[in-house]
Amino acid sequence: MYSLLQQIVSKIDGKIALSFSYQAEDAAVLHLLSQCKIKSFEVFTLDTGKLFDECEKLHKETEEFFKISIKKYLPKSGEIEHLEKKLGDWGMRESLENRRLCCRIRKVEPLERALKGKSAWVTGLRVAHGITRNNLQIVEYDEKFNLFKINPIVFWSDEELFGYIKEYNLPLNPLYSQGFKSIGCKPCTRAVKDGEDIRAGRWWWENPEHKECGLHIKEK
Ligand code: SF4
């Protein structure tokens, strides 16, 4: 995968950014990208204010391991005040509309700022994540953000992913050992049982086809 990723990034003219969301996928992609011969790339995360404590610890460990700085993008404070008044602590679970509003303010708007001026966005998306990610490709053009989206491990299985993490001893979120298979915000993520889908613990009260926060929806 490394040589293919090298070929892809060498064709990118402009700034490259990698989104880091405290998942095993991001560590693998960061490791692959770190080996590519490119001038520089930015690693950023969306600090929604609703993350698990384990993610903050992993943030530091990852920075130390890769000798990098992971830039945090936060939601706008004025909008958060309004959101918290409207939804309280758990209002995002009351309707799809509420949940999408919360994701819009805490994730999508900060992502728009993070990707501004970038030519390529590298992600840890995988087809194995389920129904909403069936049609992903290694390289796509994202019309919403007007940049190339590079998904280097899109076709990796769980075995390949966790085998890679183990082989290179990469920092891993301790939530995986507590039964989590996909990591998101605390109010909207739970551990899953054996045999359940990878993203069954994300917004578990919603239909599977709604399970996206808006970061990876292609429409403008
Ligand atoms: S995942 Fe949940 S807490 Fe996080 S931004 Fe979306 S609705 Fe809000």
- Is residue 102 annotated as a catalytic residue, yes or no? no
**Predicted TM-score (pTM) above 0.85:** yes
Using CA atoms, how far apart are residues 69 and 19, in angstroms rounded to an integer? 12
What does the CA dihedral 155, 21, 46, 14 come to, rounded to 10 degrees? -50
Two tokens at 146? 């007007």
- Nearest-CA residue for ligand 1 atom 4 is 185
Rounded mean pLDDT, 146-169: 96
Using alpha carbons only, give the angle 210, 211, 213 rounded to the nearest 5 degrees.
Answer: 105
Among 111, 188, 189, which residue has the most ligand 1 atoms within 8 Å of its CB, making it the best to mutate?
A: 188
Quote the tokens at residue 55.
């993610």
For residue 176, what are its two tokens?
Answer: 């995986």
Q: Which atom of ligand 1 is nearest to the CA of 185?
A: 4
> Sign (positive/negative) of CA torsion 181, 185, 191, 194?
negative
β-strand partners of 140: 149
Q: How confident is the model at residue 205 (pLDDT cuts 50, 70, 90)?
A: confident
108 has pLDDT over 50: yes
Altogether, the residues listed in the chain come to a count of 220
Residue ranges and CATH numbers for the domains of the chain are 2-6+22-210 (3.40.50.620)
Average pLDDT over residues 151-157: 96
Q: Residue 71: in which H helix or E strand, if any?
A: strand 70-73
Ligand 1 atom nearest the C-alpha of 100 is: 7
> Over the stretch 111-141, which tens digit does the pLDDT of each residue have?
999 999 999 999 999 998 876 677 899 999 9
202, β-bridge pairs: 189
Instruction: Give me the sheet containing 42-46, strands edge to edge.
Output: 70-73, 42-46, 15-19, 118-122, 147-150, 139-142
